[in-house]
């Protein structure tokens, strides 16, 4: 498997996309705010959504539309979450109708998603005025425009693609995502759409997606808030020509592993672009008794506001790491724990067997001043491991969210 240079959601065969500024966002901006992604033929489809009981109307409509395991297009907007609105479902259905009219497909084959401010009515006029233009701009090179159109407080677009072989056929899988704040374990303010030209049945897509999500998106936290709009979908159109994967065989394992690696790369992009963030934090846990223990410890460390603040200040305050491990609720022996900080500037070991050791504060400062930090926690009590992804907590996070709506 290889990552493609400049890979996008349209890298797989048969997919096109477009993104435009239609006016969903405030009139004083020229930022793109509506995107369309389409396959030239119907796809098998699978999805996962937020676990928040308060959900966007777009999720309700999408769940109905893909209940049969098929989809052909995605229409998505930024600037408005279409959540907690009395006419939310009606607006989401209308978005599907407009996309279907432009594409000449059944509206029930359209995935719809929204992201942005919660509790404000979604204006439908931008969609009615912009749908035709969006359709005309559809292109195999339109993936990046779509990536830009789904951004809210994101500072960079998030897209990638991988290529691998299934049954002697070259297969490509692309992804686009957005997310910067209101991101927490078990999905966040995250929209992500995966496309592939592999032939995979809907049940097998769901299995692969669930597996990938557990090791990637569900291991990301920016601020401890789980959004109302999280939507992650995958569409597979089969144009690569491989024999359809309908069971958990060797080909399924190759496909699922590729999806996992793609999703991990996207998860890191989301974490690195956390609101106000200056550093990507990766907590790597080793030597756990079980995978659940490894995940629990990694999540606790990456979610700790004190750890995140220390990393912002390049302060090797390893006691905060141990503190987070201690309240994680996982089965650990605190007297066995080793902790180290790592970056491209080097490695500094700070704790052995649950106790502090001498280390150079100067070297530690240098290591922690890089923009990607690995916090290694070795529990020395088993063979299991896990990773979680987060970011530092900065002054700018409060500034961004202090006036997000106004």
Q: What is the pLDDT of residues 52-95, one digit of tens each?
A: 888 899 999 999 999 999 999 999 999 999 999 999 999 999 99
The pLDDT assigned to 188 comes to 46
Q: What is the pLDDT of residues 98-111, one digit of tens each?
A: 999 999 999 999 99
The pLDDT of residue 258 is above 90? yes
pTM given for the model: 0.89
How many domains are contained in the chain?
2
Range of the domain at 102: 2-272
Q: By C-alpha distance, which of 273, 362, 389, 377 is closest to 325?
A: 377
The pLDDT of residue 185 is above 60? no
Give the pLDDT mean for 213-233. 80
What percent of the chain clears pLDDT 90, i.e. is strictly above it?
Answer: 81
Tell whether 332 and 379 lie within a shared domain. Answer: yes
Q: End of a domain among 226, 250, 272? A: 272
Give the pLDDT mean for 325-345. 97
The pLDDT of residue 187 is above 80? no
Per-residue pLDDT band for 270 (boundaries 50, 70, 90) equals: confident
Q: End of a domain among 242, 272, 302? A: 272
The CATH number that applies at residue 323 is: 3.10.20.340
CA dist 163 to 142, 188, 208, 303, Å? 19, 27, 16, 33
The pLDDT assigned to 227 comes to 60
Q: What is the pLDDT of residues 361-387, one digit of tens each?
A: 999 999 999 999 999 999 999 999 999
The CATH number that applies at residue 181 is: 3.60.70.12
CA dist 256 to 142, 168, 212, 246, Å? 26, 17, 7, 13
Name the one residue in this structure whose structure tokens are 């930022």. 31
44: β partners: 70, 236
The pLDDT assigned to 331 comes to 97
Tell whether 50 and 162 lie within a shared domain. Answer: yes
Q: By C-alpha distance, which of 120, 150, 115, 123 is closest to 36?
A: 150
- Burial (CB < 10 A; 0-12, 13-18, 19+), residue 246, is middle
Query: Both tokens of residue 37?
Result: 């992604």
**Alpha-carbon span 116 to 175, nearest angstrom:** 20
Query: 337 near 325, Cβ under 8 Å?
Result: yes
Q: Which residues are catalytic?
A: 189
Tell whether 25 and 122 lie within a shared domain. Answer: yes
Q: End of a domain among 272, 301, 324? A: 272
């Amino acid at each position: 498997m290889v990552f493609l240079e400049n890979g996008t959601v349209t890298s797989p065969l048969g997919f096109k996309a477009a993104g435009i500024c239609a006016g969903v966002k405030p009139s004083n901006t020229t930022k793109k705010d509506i995107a369309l992604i389409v396959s030239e033929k119907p796809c098998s489809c699978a999805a996962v959504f937020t676990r928040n009981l308060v959900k966007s109307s777009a999720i309700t409509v999408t769940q109905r539309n893909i209940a049969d395991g098929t989809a052909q297009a995605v229409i998505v907007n930024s600037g408005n979450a279409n959540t907690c609105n009395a006419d939310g479902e009606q607006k989401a259905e209308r978005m599907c109708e407009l996309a279907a009219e432009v594409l000449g497909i059944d509206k029930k084959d359209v995935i719809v998603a929204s992201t942005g401010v919660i509790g404000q009515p979604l204006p439908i006029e931008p969609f009615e005025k912009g749908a035709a233009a969006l359709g005309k701009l559809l292109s195999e090179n339109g993936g990046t425009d779509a990536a830009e159109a789904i951004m809210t407080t994101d500072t960079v677009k998030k897209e990638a693609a991988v290529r691998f072989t299934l049954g002697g056929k070259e297969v490509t899988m692309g992804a686009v995502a957005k997310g910067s704040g209101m991101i927490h374990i078990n999905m966040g303010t995250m929209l992500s759409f995966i496309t592939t030209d592999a032939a995979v049945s809907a049940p097998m897509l769901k299995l692969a997606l669930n597996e990938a999500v557990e090791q990637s998106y569900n291991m990301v936290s920016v601020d401890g808030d789980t959004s109302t709009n999280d939507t992650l979908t995958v569409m597979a159109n089969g144009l690569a020509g491989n024999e359809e994967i309908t069971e958990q065989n060797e080909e399924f394992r190759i496909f699922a592993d590729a999806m996992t690696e793609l999703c991990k790369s996207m998860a890191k992009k989301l974490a690195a672009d956390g609101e106000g963030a200056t550093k990507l934090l990766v907590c790597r846990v080793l030597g756990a008794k079980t995978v659940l223990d490894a995940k629990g410890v990694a999540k606790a460390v990456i979610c700790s506001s004190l750890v995140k603040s220390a990393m912002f200040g390049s302060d090797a305050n390893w006691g905060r790491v141990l503190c987070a491990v201690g309240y994680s609720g996982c089965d650990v022996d605190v007297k066995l724990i080793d902790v180290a900080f790592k970056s491209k500037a080097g490695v500094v070991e700070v704790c052995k067997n649950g106790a502090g050791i001498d280390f150079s504060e100067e070297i530690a400062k240098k290591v922690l001043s890089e923009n990607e930090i690995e916090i290694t926690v070795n529990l020395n009590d088993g063979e299991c491991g896990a990773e979680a992804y987060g970011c530092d907590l900065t002054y700018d996070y409060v500034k961004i969210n202090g006036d997000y709506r106004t």
